[in-house]
Amino acid sequence: MRLRVVDLETSGGDRSSEILEVGFVDVVRDGEGWRPLPPVTKLFRPRGDISFHAMAVHHLTPAHFCADDPHCDEYALREMFAQPADVMVAHSARFERGFIADTAVGGVPWICTVRSAKAVWPQAPGHSNQVLRYWRGFALDPALADPAHRAGPDAWVTAHILMDLLKEASVEQMIAWTREPRRLDRIPFGKHRGRPWAEPPDDYLRWMTGQGDMDADVVAAARQELTRRQGLGTLALADAHDAG
């Protein structure tokens, strides 16, 4: 089995941004355990600007790119991922999946190491890949693991988090955790932003569930709250009937 750990650096923080750098590390079976193959990285020249906020994170500037560097598109990703993988892996996979189409990776399942780490190590002081790197005591070669916030080194760190997780959870279990809707304790946007799900009116929640472009986890949370309220209403009717 080949688990492909991927990390991206982009020109900004939203889905309209472009991929600037792709790094991946394949993790493969080695007897009873797992081992990482050498990191693979590639720079892609953006068509547009790189935001200053993005530069402040990964320190990639226009000076890093040559005029003949390719742009990143699905064809380029397919070429880079020519060797098939059985599972794609990323730290906070929701971000990478927003840029990498399923058709570029053969429609294989994904593992999110953030979600998996939260399930396996809820007591961790944090769940970023760098916090987990030091909390788990990894002694990684700086030539491969540094600097942080570059695609190759971050993929290398995440690969070691994955191998550590595999000592306590199966690939199938981590895929299942990744597929579950993420828990949203409060509404993440709009006029009710920051409020508990129990507060907004039913019609607002129904509006959320009817938006085709709404975040799937937000829709799931709105539906769950509507179902909860429906259950409470049914229970109230039953109590009133019993009292009568």
Give the whole-angstrom CA distance, residue 162 versus residue 89.
Answer: 8
Domain spanning 2-179: which superfamily? Answer: Ribonuclease H-like superfamily/Ribonuclease H (3.30.420.10)
Cis ω on the peptide bond leading into residue 36 (within 30° of 0)?
A: no
From-to residues of CATH 3.30.420.10 in the chain = 2-179
DSSP letters, the chain, are -EEEEEEEEESSSSTTS-EEEEEEEEEEEETTEEEEPPPEEEE---SSPPPHHHHHHH---GGG--TTSPPP-HHHHHHHT-S--SEEEETTHHHHHTTS-GGGTTT--EEEHHHHHHHH-TTSS--SHHHHHHHTT----HHHH-STTSHHHHHHHHHHHHHHHTTTS-HHHHHHHHHSPPP-SB--SSTTTTSBTTSS-HHHHHHHHT-TTS-HHHHHHHHHHHHHHHHHHHHHHHHHHHH-
- Residue numbers of the chain with a pLDDT score lower than 70: 213, 216, 233-244
Q: Which two tokens stand for residue 137?
A: 């005591």
Handedness of CA 120, 157, 21, 128 (dihedral sign): positive
Strands 19-30 and 2-10: antiparallel
pLDDT of amino acid 71: 95
Long-range Cβ pairs for the range 241-244 (8 Å, 24+):
none
pLDDT of amino acid 61: 97
Q: Which two tokens stand for residue 182?
A: 């993420």
Beta bridge partners of 9: 21
pLDDT of amino acid 63: 95
- Output the pTM of the full model: 0.80
pLDDT of amino acid 6: 98
Say if residues 41 and 58 touch (Cβ distance below 8 Å).
Answer: no
pLDDT of amino acid 137: 97
